[in-house]
Each structure stands twice: as structure tokens, then as C-alpha cells.
Amino acid sequence: MLKKKQKKELKNFDTDLAKFVPQDIINQAKAEAQKEIFKLKLAELRQNQGIKQTDVDGFSQVSVSRIESRSDIKISTLIDYVHACGFDVEIKAVPRRNKKKEEFVLLKA
């Protein structure tokens, strides 16, 4: 957990970074970071269930490894993988700017 001082330093870092780096570069870096986080979360989902890569129903160990190392997978593959880990999938559309607008559920599987 970050302390107040650390949070302030991070906020200052973001503000200071924006002074020297173009916004499109910052946005690209954030998008790449989200892709890496996605891969980590897929593996974490499986691991938290106590499932080994070799024990994911319907997937070989090689397939699981590939899924967990890709940042761009088919929705159908994601659904099958998440189901095999004992979870359901819900995909929502969330407003970017107007936070007062409701989320819109696109898919429940």
C-alpha cells in the first residue's frame, strides 16, 4: 500500500512527465502497461484457484502458456479459459468522460 508521500510523488511524476513527454507517447505507454497487467491477471486468476497450467480443462499446457503470454486474444478463447478456471465473464462498456452515465453490459457468459 502506498503512503501519502509516495502517492503525492507519483502524482507529481505524472504531472512532471507530461511537461516533457508528448501525451500520445504517455497514452501509448499506459496502453502497453494495461496489456501487461491483463496477462498477469489471467495467470493470477488461474493460480488463485490452485489450478496448474497442465490442469486447465480443455487446454493443453502450451495453450495456457500462450494465452497467458498474449495481450490480444479472441473473446471466445477468453471466455473458454475463464470458464475453465471456474469463473464467468462480463464485458462492460464504461463511459470515458461522463462518469454519471451508466455502464452498459455488452456480454455475460
Is there a domain that residue 77 lies in?
Answer: yes
What is the residue-averaged pLDDT of the chain? 89
Summarize pLDDT for 41-87 with one digit per residue, the tens: 999 999 999 999 999 999 999 999 999 999 899 999 999 999 999 99
16 alpha carbon, distance to own chain's centre: 26
Structural domain of 73? 29-108
Is there a domain that residue 74 lies in?
Answer: yes
Is there a domain that residue 11 lies in?
Answer: no
Q: Is pLDDT of 6 > 70?
A: no
Query: Is residue 106 within 8 Å of residue 92, measured between CB atoms?
Result: yes
Which ranges constitute the DSSP H helices of the chain? Answer: 4-20, 23-48, 61-69, 75-84
Is there a domain that residue 34 lies in?
Answer: yes
Strand partners, 77: none
Question: Structurally, how many domains does the chain consist of?
Answer: 1
Q: Is pLDDT of 16 > 90?
A: no
What's the rounded Cα separation, in Å, for the pair 101 and 90? 18
Residue 37: give its domain's CATH number: 1.10.260
